[in-house]
Amino acid sequence: MNSKFNNADARTYSVVPNTSFISIKDESRELMAVWPDIVRDLTDAGRHLDIPDVTKWLMKVLQYNVPCGGKNRALTVVEAYRSLSPPDQITEENLRLTRILGWCTELLQAFLLMVDDIQDHSEMRRNQPCWYLYNDIGLTAINDALMLEMCIYQLLKKHFKTKECYVNLLEQFLSVSLKTEMGQCLDLLSTNFGKKPNLDLFTMDRYNSIVKYKTGYYTFVLPATAAMSFAGITDPEMYRQAKTILLEMGHLFQVKDDYLDCYGSIEDIGKTGTDIAEGKCSWLIVVALQRATPEQKKIFEECYGQSDVEKVNRVKQLYQELGISNTYAIYEEETYNLLHTHIQQISRGLPHDLFLKLLNRTCRKIGRKD
């Protein structure tokens, strides 16, 4: 791997962004071209254990849950590697390995979503029934999700074990998985495990922590920093600056997701919004509680976290009365512009263009599909 990125010379070395261009659509096709090899790698191992039924089932789990999303995390891995690596390092073999690394992030995403859908009693994901509801699979889906999580490490071992970055990649995936699961725990604690939520806990500080741990690390930090590791970057300050920007993006991304959960159509977001019925500590309810009168707070106490359609609609009516949509529009515009400024202030040799592309692709304005 490239060794020129080290602590001693990071102050003077500036990354020259790779000028080779490939569109998101083309890169998505390149990722899908690798997908059959991913499935083969993961299911061949099962055959060695003389469990053909499990191998066949795992193939079904993989095909249903992993490749059908937007592949934003995998795309970030490839974009980051292209931007951060010198031209002589961007070989077809290294790009293939980068795409495999990208699929590892998608496997993590699939594992987390499968468990989250069970815990949240969700019905739709990516315009199809959630896996646990597919053919009445039920709680067997928990084991299926765990198998997908372990597939990550099988792929890393097979393709990266001889690379200098192998241990770093293992530590990154393990660390981010733990952080995300802690974020999920905080989210569930906030909903009182699906019972009546304690709205007094719904503070902006608590919300920020949920977003940071449940979303920011695995959606933004992991894909970019995994690519940095594979590109041979070792300077801690480069990782620190990247992490700061990426967590800010994660916050905007999740606030937008919260907004769409309430106001987006199933065609736009691929699922039915459940945050109100599930009593989630979302950005909308936190801001609403900050503004609500004592009378309005009483209504929130009575209706929030209830699956009754009339009570859900009453919460939405209160959101309208409190001007939540307008507040979101202002927040989105200001945060988007602030992120642009922060990206321009990165000084540790990280290419601004990479982060601007990521911002525009994943956090673009409402009205365009994720």
2 pLDDT band (50/70/90 cuts)? very low
Determine phi and psi for 129, rounding to 5 degrees. Answer: -60, 140
Q: What angle do CA 129, 133, 138 make, to 5 degrees?
A: 155
Say whether pLDDT at 315 is over 60: yes
At residue 20, the pLDDT reads 52
Average pLDDT of span 270-288: 92
Q: Rounded distance, CA 114 to CA 65, Å? A: 8
Instruction: Report pLDDT for 367.
Output: 42
- Tell which wins on pLDDT, 311 or 367: 311
- The 10s digit of each residue's pLDDT in 149-158 is 999 999 999 9
pLDDT of residue 269: 76
In 3D space, the residue among 174, 175, 202 whose CA is nearest the CA of residue 186 turns out to be 202
pLDDT score of 299: 98
Instruction: Determine the Cα–Cα distance for residues 353 and 328; give it in Å rounded to an integer.
Output: 26
pLDDT of residue 364: 76
Q: Which of 42-46, 68-72, 89-93, 245-249 has the lowest mean pLDDT?
A: 42-46
Question: Sorting pLDDT into bands at 50, 70 and 90, what band is 266?
Answer: confident
Catalogue all structural domains in the chain, each as residue range(s) with its CATH number. Answer: 24-363 (1.10.600.10)
Q: Tokens representing 58?
A: 């795992």
Question: What is the tens place of the pLDDT at every residue in 248-259?
Answer: 999 999 999 999
In the predicted structure, residue 21 carries a pLDDT above the cut 80 = no
> Tell me, what's the pLDDT at 172?
98
pTM of the model: 0.91
Residue 116 and residue 82 in contact, taking contact as beta carbons nearer than 8 Å: no
Distance between CA atoms of residues 149 and 147, nearest Å = 5
Distance CA 201, CA 68 (A): 36
pLDDT tops 60 at residue 214: yes
7: amino acid identity, one letter: N
Average pLDDT over residues 74-91: 97
- The pLDDT tens digits of the residues spanning 4-15 come to 333 333 333 334
Q: What is the predicted pLDDT for the residue at 19?
A: 42
Per DSSP, 69 falls in state S
Confidence band of 181 (pLDDT split at 50, 70, 90)? very high
